Chain A
Amino acid sequence: MNHIKLLLFATLRDRAGTKSIELDIPSESTVQGLKDQISAEYPNLKASMASVLITINREYAFDEAVIPDNAELAMFPPVSGG
């Protein structure tokens, strides 16, 4: 198992009601696997999964990416800075 911390921002944080979630994911889980697990365990976030951005160790990651052990993950909507 891989114990990870997932940082949440903007609408994701508001919907989850927390700035971060700690969870156990299977070793070698992909980003898509994580999205599926979040949808199942956090029904409030399920609708967001279709358009969310996910980062692994501060780089954008895509569905097929395998999540390394002890990675820093974040999940957030498309950015609106500037």
Chain B
Amino acid sequence: MEFPTIFSITEDEIDINDLLAKITLSSTGAAAIFTGMVRGETARGAAHETEYLEYEAYIPMAEAKMKQVADEIREKWPVVEGIAVVQRIGKLYPRTPTVLIACTAAHRDTGVFDAARYGIDRLKEIVPVWKKEVSPNGEYWVEGDYFPNAGE
């Protein structure tokens, strides 16, 4: 049986209910959903306000890498049923969801929380998407700090 795997870059608003419905099977009893959103006021590190973020992606490679993240989740947590990995791009304002990682399973003690956490951490390592911070003080592209190794 083929479990549902959703991966996409979208400019549309992330519809959490719709995505959850698509990855919920009749055998599903648990869903772990991570959503990241634009933070308007940052207190950690160099404290600052954000007017908006502008996201861009190398779309065909980003979708391939998002599928890879889903494949890695399946390999590490074979009991995971549905997986959704969605990244929104474009100009996004504070409190707006930008990314969703959701994993479903029959029961919650199957590692499904860990699978979702792995998904977001891994997306942030290898999926070619970048965000530009725009504030009254100016704008700059946020640089990641992960350098992929051979085969990643």
Contacts and interface: CB of A to CB of B under 8 A. Distances in A.
Interface of A: 7, 9-11, 14, 51, 53, 55, 58, 60, 62, 74, 76-82
B141 interface: yes
B127 A81 contact: yes
B25 to A, nearest CB: 27
Contact of A60 (B123, B143, B148): B148
A80 B58 contact: no
Interface of B: 36, 55-58, 60-62, 64, 87, 98-99, 120, 123-132, 141-148, 150, 152
A55 B128 CA distance: 10
Contact of B58 (A9, A14, A62, A78): A9
A82 B152 contact: no
B144 A78 contact: yes
A9 B57 CA distance: 8
B56 A9 contact: yes
A50 to B, nearest CB: 11
Given A9-B130, A53-B148, A60-B148, A78 B61 contact: no
